[in-house]
Structure 1
Amino acid sequence: MLKTNIDKLVMQSVQGKVHHPVSTFPYRISSVGEPMVLPATGGITYNVKVGDPAMGWAGDHVEPGVSIKNENDSENGALNLFSCIGNKAKIVSGDAKGATGYVTGMHGGVEHVLVYFEEEALEKMTVDDKILVKAWGQGLELLDYPQVKMMNIDPELFGKLGIEEKDGKLIVPVAAEAPAYLMGSGTGSVSAYRGDYDIMTSDADTIKEYDLDKLRFGDIVLLRDHDNSFGRTYLKGAVTIGVVIHSDCIKSGHGPGITAIMTCREPIIEGVISDKANIADYLGLYLGL
C-alpha cells in the first residue's frame, strides 16, 4: 500500500447551495457553426448520473447530479478549492435534510462543485437547499514519491483506486488515455487545484481511435504529456491522472471535463486499461443507465 500523510490532513467544513441554471442568451454555437438551444450547467439533473455515458446527451457541459455554489465569491473559492472528489456531503436544509452523498467533481468557469445523491434525495431537493461538504484531501502526499503532486481527491477514495508499484513506477487502472493534443479549454490555467479542463471532441475519428467516445462520468483517465503541477501545460513525458466530471460539449475547444487528481513531470505514472476504473465503482454508487 502506498504510504501517504493521511494522518496529517485537515478535514474542514465548506458549504454551498443548489445553484439554479442560468441563461443570458439562448443559443450556443457548435464547432460547425450551428446555433443550438440546449440544457447546460447547474441545478438538479435528475437523469444524468456518475457512471452514465458522458457522451451523446442533448446538452452542453451537463453536470451529473447536483450542482452547488456559494453566493459569496471568496467562500465559493474555498468551496471549490478544498472540496475533493470522494468527499462526503450532507444536505442540511429542506425536505431532503440529512441525506448524504459524495463530491464527484469541480467544474471551472461556472465554479460549481458537483455532488452525487441517490434518487430519493433528488426528488425531495429544491434549488437553494444547502449542502455541507467535509472537505478533506488537499495537502495529500505520497511519501515515497515526492515528485508526484496529489490534488482534488479524498484520501480514502485514493486508497481504493488499485494503484500498484512496479519497478519504481505507479501503475494506475484507467478507463482511457488521451493524447496531449486533445486537451483544450482550461489548458494554461495557473492552477489545477480546482476546476477542470476539457478533452476536445470535434474530431470524431480521433475520439473513436482512443475509445474516448465511450467515456463515462466518473471515469479515471490518463492524460499523456500533460503536467498539472503548477498549472495545466504540455510537457513531454509528463503524465496526469484525472476524473471525468461533466459531459461532452458542442463548442469548439471543449468536451468532457477532467479534474486532475495526480500528476508528475517525470514518466513514472503508467496506465492499465480497466472497465472498472470509475469512481462509481469505487464508491459503490447506484449506476444510472
Structure 2
Amino acid sequence: MSLKEYLATRSAEVDAALDAFLPKAKEKPATIHAAMRYSIFAGGKRLRPILCLAAAEACGGDVESAMPPACAVEILHTYSLVHDDLPCMDDDDLRRGRPTCHKVYGEGMAVLTGDALLTEAFLILAQTTPAKRYPGAAYVAELALTGGSTRLIGGQVMDLEGEGKKLTKAQLVKIHESKTAALLTSSIRLGAMTANATEKQLEALSVFGRALGLAFQVIDDVLDVTQSTEVLGKTAGKDAAVEKATYPAILGLEKSRKEAAKFTREALDALKPFGKKAQRLREIAEYLLKREY
C-alpha cells in the first residue's frame, strides 16, 4: 500500500470511529452536538490520530487498541482550533476551507463547543484498554499534561504575549515545542503505550515527535507566507498581519526551509532503532516536509 493509500485508509477509519464515539447531531441539546460534529468533520489531514496508529504499529501493536487515544487527540486538537479561532484569540473566519465554528454558531456556542470537545476527548480516552506497562491513569495523565498550562495552553499564552514583539529563535522554538510539537509527540506516545512500548522505545518516539512537530510548524509558517487562502483553507498571511513571531519572520524563507529539513533529519534519526516497523512514520515525516498545504 502506498503512503497516499495508507493515509486515506487510516483517515477513513478514524472518521468512522469519531462518528461512532461522538453524540449524534440530533441528540439533545442538539445545537452543541451539531456544532461539535461541524468542527470535527470540517476536513483536515487527521495527522495526529494517524501518527498515533502508526506509532502503535511501529511498537508491534494494533490499530484497534490505539483507536480510542487516536480519536481523543484529534478531538482535543479540534477543541484547540475552535478556541484559537475565536475573536478574542486569533480571530479567524476560515478553518479547513469552511467558516469557523463561531461564525456559524456564535461566539458563546463556540466556547461551549470547545469545552465539550475537550471533555469528550477524555471520555473517549478512558475507553483505552490498559497495557501491561501502562494503566488507564497513564493515558489520562499523558494527554492532560499535554493539554495543560505548561504545554498546549502555555504555548498559546506565550504566542499571544509574543504578538508585536521581536522574539528570539529560542523563544519561538519554546512556543512551538509547547503547542504543535507537544501534541504530535503525545499522539505518538499514546499509540506506542497501547502497544506496551518499552521505556527506550517511548524515549526514541518522544525525540521523533518533538523534531517532527517543529519541522511541521516551520513548514506551516512558510506556507502561511507562500500560499493562498484557497490552498490553505484558512486565512493566508494572518501571522504577518498580527505581527506574530514565525520562522520566516525571524530567519527568512530559505533558512526556514533548511531548518525544517534539519528537524526532519533529527526525526528520522530517532527512528533507527525500530527498523522496518517504523517505515510508515518515516514516510509521513518525509511527506510533511514536502507538503504544499
Q: With the length of structure 2 as denominator, give the TM-score of the two structures.
A: 0.25
Q: Counting helix residues as a fraction of each chain, which structure ranks higher?
A: 2
Q: Counting strand residues as a fraction of each chain, which structure ranks higher?
A: 1
Q: With the length of structure 1 as denominator, give the TM-score of the two structures.
A: 0.25
